[in-house]
Chain A
Amino acid sequence: MVIEFLFYLLYVGAKMELYNGSLDVEQIFSKWLHEEAESNYGAYIPFVGTIRAEDGIEALSFDIYEPVLEAWFNSWVEKAEKLGAKVKMAHAIGDVPVHTSSYISAVFSPKRRVALELIDEFVEDFKANAPIWKYDVKEGKRIYAEDRSTPMSGSGLLA
């Protein structure tokens, strides 16, 4: 069953994308659009996260724990598939300067309603449970963004 699902992921091209540094938004938008050009989806709703200049930061920086992120993403692929939809995601690793993008996700679906609802749930669950750690970069130093971070589901088990 697990192996069948992995083949399914390969077949539909549902693989999360990780890039070193800022995302090339236009290239990723265009790639995803082309990947689904013949899939007969009526709606394509992307979400783009861009680093804002605030509190004197030069950049944000990200650490990712890939095995758990992949399992999290694959559970969303499966959830979307049951609704006839498809999710995609790209994220940056390392430093991402202000005014560039660190995160893009998207939902494709036959009709708009499923995609509009799913992009909301998908992005919110991403913020709460994707194993990614954010740091402010100031004067070249990385400072953990603790006050903006959220404990994942099930936190405190070992306390």
Chain B
Amino acid sequence: MVIVEFLGPIGEESLELEAKTLHDVAEQLQKIDTISAWLDKCAVAVNDQMTSDLSMELKSGDRVSILPPVCGG
């Protein structure tokens, strides 16, 4: 199981998913209405490292963070 956490204003509880790659995570999140609307504007980190590789392999216990649009300062 991997843990998916939704940061900042998304306001959803963390999920545990069966996933071997980030692509698997994407497929499952796209099916959740309250989350799918955020996905086109969110960046992704795995274990706190930003990533742009959808084929990235995941292992049990990995933490996937979903980061919505930012505005610091």
Contacts and interface: CB of A to CB of B under 8 A. Distances in A.
Do chains A and B stick together as partners?
Answer: yes
Contacts of B44: 154, 157-158
Contacts of A149: 68-71
Interface in A56-85: 62-65, 67-68, 71
Interface string A143-159: 01110111111111111
Looking at chain B's contact residues, the main secondary structure is: mixed
A154 B70 contact: no
Nearest to A148: B71
A130 interface: yes
Interface residues of B, number: 30
A131 B67 contact: yes
Interface stretch (A5-13, A29-37, A108-116, A132-140): A132-140
Contact of B26 (A102, A132, A145, A158): A158
Q: How large is the interface on A (under 10, 10 to 19, 20 to 34, 35 or more residues)?
A: 35 or more
A150 B40 contact: no
Contact of A133 (B40, B41, B68): B68
B25 interface: yes
Given A63-B7, A68-B67, A157 B26 contact: yes
Interface of A: 49, 62-65, 67-68, 71, 91, 102-103, 123, 126-135, 144-146, 148-159
Given A65-B65, A129-B70, A157-B42, 16 more contacts: A127-B72, A132-B70, A132-B72, A145-B71, A146-B69, A149-B69, A152-B50, A153-B43, A156-B40, A156-B41, A157-B26, A157-B51, A157-B54, A158-B22, A158-B26, A159-B40
